[in-house]
Structure 1
Amino acid sequence: MTSVCCFQLKVNPTSSISKPQTHLRFNPSTFALPSSSYSKSGEPQPLYSSVKSFAPATVANLGPGFDFLGCAVDGIGDYVNLRIDPEVHPGEVSISHISGAGSKLSKNPLWNCAGIAAIAVMKMLKVRSVGLSLSLEKGLPLGSGLGSSAASAAAAAVAVNELFGGPLSTSELVIAGLESEAKVSGYHADNVAPSILGGFVLIRSYDPLELMQLKFPHDKNLFFVLVNPEFEAPTKKMRAALPPEITMSHHVWNSSQAGALVASVLQGDLNGLGKALSSDKIVEPRRAPLIPGMGAVKKAAIEAGAFGCTISGAGPTAVAVTDNEERGREIGERMVEAFMKEGNLKALAMVKQLDRVGARLVSSVPR
């Protein structure tokens, strides 16, 4: 049995970080948001002195779903450690430490995706009595096409929310994550929404923001083969490569492929999912030439038995799908070889499953 969860959030795309919009517009015929456990006019009290959260990596676009489809990937992502810090001014956030792949990131919370999201949640909760200190463990490489900034934002938003007992719904946390994405990589939710919600997510509308969770059947196996080459593909550069206009025939084709992809997800049809994943005629043809060897990598994946292959997000990571973990490793080996042979790039392959949970608390210390 397939199912779709849908909810609407009213968001102003031009809202600033200093004034996050948290007004929600409900659609009773689709999905009822969980009620908040605190009064919007009051300030919740922290339940913990410190918490640790995790948010998974994501694969955005999924071929023809540019800026409106994404999914979460299990086993890799970012961690945030958050604690009440009497040395931080009440109502403010300080970033004390960044480790892992994020050593080059700013510790200024106004310019760091984790800091921006944390501040947005604090303002939603109207926290004024305590200051918070945050440390970020980057498990995702920067500019990899795996939703690195979104994972940091998601982990931070969840950490702040959970420190105060989890009064905000996941939908409100997506708004906080979007505040961060809008600042650092652009106003798009196809990474941050699945990182927070888990599974597959379709962004039906941005104004107002409307998200739909697509339930992939639990009895079906789905493995992502993620191959990340040693190559930088900045999101801004990759977005600049996109065509300003498209033909009607390409619009019709991509729309049909995106529809087929959604249907395949709901039905657990890996063959159909892979076929649609590989069929983008608008974005991938412009971006693939900018990633050395990508064309050969895609061909190698499919010849090795993958159901489909495309660029993950803005790249340079290539993603292929299969229903068997061992075959996934073999596919990954062939993709790594193709990156080296045709693109002269070293690459690392991983085989991961779908993350159905999304960002979550992993530990806490009571006050």
Structure 2
Amino acid sequence: MVTICFQSPSKPIHNIQPKSKLSSQPPYKSQSLVIVTEPEPVFTSVKTFAPATVANLGPGFDFLGCAVDGLGDHVTLHVDPTVRNGEISISEITGTTTKLSFDPHRNCAGIAAMATMKMLGIKSVGVSLALHKGLPLGSGLGSSAASAAAAAVAVNELFGGKLGNDELVLAGLKSEAKVSGFHADNIAPAIMGGFVLIRSYEPLDLKPLRFPLEKDLFFVLVSPDFEAPTKKMRAALAKEIPMAHHVWNSSQAAVLVAAVLEVEPKRAPLIPGMEAVKRAALEAGAFGCTISGVGPTAVAVIDTAEKGFEIGEKMVEAFLKVGNLKSIASVKKLDKIGARLIKSM
């Protein structure tokens, strides 16, 4: 579909349909004619995947996160003539949870998909979305971000992949802002893969931290049978810090160590046994151990899968012995790809 716009440096853009009388009689001479082409679907259906993420990584509160291979959400999107043009219908929700809204304005996948359609200027096509949750809610593994990332990438791929990663992250942030807060440390790595540093939010400035291709990094993820709501866990943090702490924190090369000491202990007591789990992981040889996102999943880092399974066993034992919580351990590699198209028709 083609939309004709008359544009002037001193006046707003007026969107005018091709058959409008104004199209042949510009309202003022200084205008220039701009042709905006709405992208058409290049597929009738696409299926995408977006990985789980580990945000914060201890000290990187709201500005550092990474993607984890093998865990995540799927979105299937198809052109649907029964859906009103320019809109989205959520047709199905399956997987680890089905207790999510089918209203696209209240569903993280729906919000991100609509934001992406708006960026692309889609007005003459309606689409239907099916969400398969591979991540439980309140897990600390970027559940909402995975859904948003998969949805944003699905819309973009359906219409020819016109948008870049930065734009897709902005679309995902529309969703994150409504369901978990305006922070990109989950949505950015979910879309881009690997480690991503958020240098600023206004404007959004993302810096991928490329992990060496010849090396592997493994995450030992231990998820206890315990829900940690994002709002509750974020509420445990101080709203303000003294100016002296801010200056010191910004000027020191050891800022990350300082942040670990100030942020993590405020959340750890909210997760039964977390401190003992961290000790067990470190004693078993982990490079480090912390809370994934807001929790309750604990994450330890190591360089071999074999050692990772040993560390996971010790962490599970600590959760049960000290926190009286049953938990499940898994060992996953760093996901260096991020959200991607896995099927198209």
TM-score category of the 2 structures, normalised to the smaller one:
0.7 to 0.9
Pairwise mapping of residues 151-166 of structure 1 onto structure 2 (< 5 A)?
A: 151-166=146-161
Question: Aligned pair 1:213/2:208, yes or no?
Answer: yes
Shift of 1:51: 0.3
Question: Aligned pair 1:191/2:191, yes or no?
Answer: no
TM-score of the superposition, structure 1-length normalised? 0.82
Counterpart of 2:175 in structure 1 is: 180
Could you tell me how far apart the structure 2 residues matched to 1:286 and 1:127 are? 45
CA 1:251–1:181: 2 relative to 1, 3 Å:
same
**Secondary structure at 2:62's aligned position in 1?**
coil
Could you tell me how far apart the structure 1 residues matched to 2:114 and 2:83 are? 13
Shift of 1:102: 2.6
**Secondary structure at 1:66's aligned position in 2?**
strand
Counterpart of 2:42 in structure 1 is: 47
Pairwise mapping of residues 288-303 of structure 1 onto structure 2 (< 5 A)?
A: 288-303=268-283
Could you tell me how far apart the structure 1 residues matched to 2:295 and 2:260 are? 14
**Secondary structure at 2:147's aligned position in 1?**
helix
Counterpart of 2:339 in structure 1 is: 359
Shift of 1:256: 4.7
**Secondary structure at 1:282's aligned position in 2?**
helix
Question: Aligned pair 1:142/2:137, yes or no?
Answer: yes
Question: Aligned pair 1:204/2:184, yes or no?
Answer: no
Question: Aligned pair 1:238/2:238, yes or no?
Answer: no
Could you tell me how far apart the structure 1 residues matched to 2:175 and 2:95 are? 20
- The amino acid of 1:329's aligned partner reads F
Counterpart of 2:294 in structure 1 is: 314
User: Are the counterparts in 1 of residues 74 and 134 from structure 2 also a CA contact under 8 Å?
Assistant: yes
Question: Aligned pair 1:99/2:82, yes or no?
Answer: no
Could you tell me how far apart the structure 2 residues matched to 1:364 and 1:190 are? 29
Counterpart of 1:27 in structure 2 is: none
Pairwise mapping of residues 23-172 of structure 1 onto structure 2 (< 5 A)?
A: 41-172=36-167
User: Are the counterparts in 2 of residues 149 and 181 from structure 1 also a CA contact under 8 Å?
Assistant: yes
- The amino acid of 1:240's aligned partner reads A
Shift of 1:245: 3.2
Shift of 1:204: 0.5
TM-score of the superposition, structure 2-length normalised? 0.87
User: Are the counterparts in 2 of residues 257 and 280 from structure 1 also a CA contact under 8 Å?
Assistant: no
- The amino acid of 1:324's aligned partner reads T
Residues 81-128 of structure 1, C-alpha deviation per residue, up to 9 Å, x if partnerless?
001111111110000010112311111100000000000011111111
- The amino acid of 2:119's aligned partner reads M
Counterpart of 2:305 in structure 1 is: 325
User: Are the counterparts in 2 of residues 195 and 358 from structure 1 also a CA contact under 8 Å?
Assistant: yes
Could you tell me how far apart the structure 1 residues matched to 2:136 and 2:306 are? 25
- How big is the alpha-carbon RMSD for the aligned residues of Structure 1 and Structure 2? 1.8
Which has a greater percent of strand?
2
Between Structure 1 and Structure 2, whose CA radius of gyration is higher? Answer: 2
Residues 35-89 of structure 1, C-alpha deviation per residue, up to 9 Å, x if partnerless?
xxxx992210101110000000000001111000000001110000001111111
Could you tell me how far apart the structure 1 residues matched to 2:290 and 2:35 are? 44
Shift of 1:130: 1.3
Could you tell me how far apart the structure 2 residues matched to 1:257 and 1:160 are? 41
> Quick one: which of 291, 296, 318 aligns to 1:338?
318
Could you tell me how far apart the structure 2 residues matched to 1:120 and 1:281 are? 38
Counterpart of 1:263 in structure 2 is: none
**Secondary structure at 1:110's aligned position in 2?**
coil
Could you tell me how far apart the structure 1 residues matched to 2:120 and 2:292 are? 34
Q: How many residues align?
A: 311
> Quick one: which of 318, 327, 339 aligns to 1:347?
327
Counterpart of 2:218 in structure 1 is: 223
Shift of 1:221: 2.2
User: Which ranges in structure 1 are unaligned for 5 or more consecutive residues?
Assistant: 1-38, 261-275
CA 1:102–1:364: 2 relative to 1, 3 Å:
same
- The amino acid of 2:221's aligned partner reads L
User: Which ranges in structure 2 are unaligned for 5 or more consecutive residues?
Assistant: 1-33
Counterpart of 2:26 in structure 1 is: none
User: Are the counterparts in 1 of residues 216 and 334 from structure 2 also a CA contact under 8 Å?
Assistant: no
**Secondary structure at 1:67's aligned position in 2?**
strand
User: Are the counterparts in 1 of residues 218 and 308 from structure 2 also a CA contact under 8 Å?
Assistant: yes
- The amino acid of 1:185's aligned partner reads S
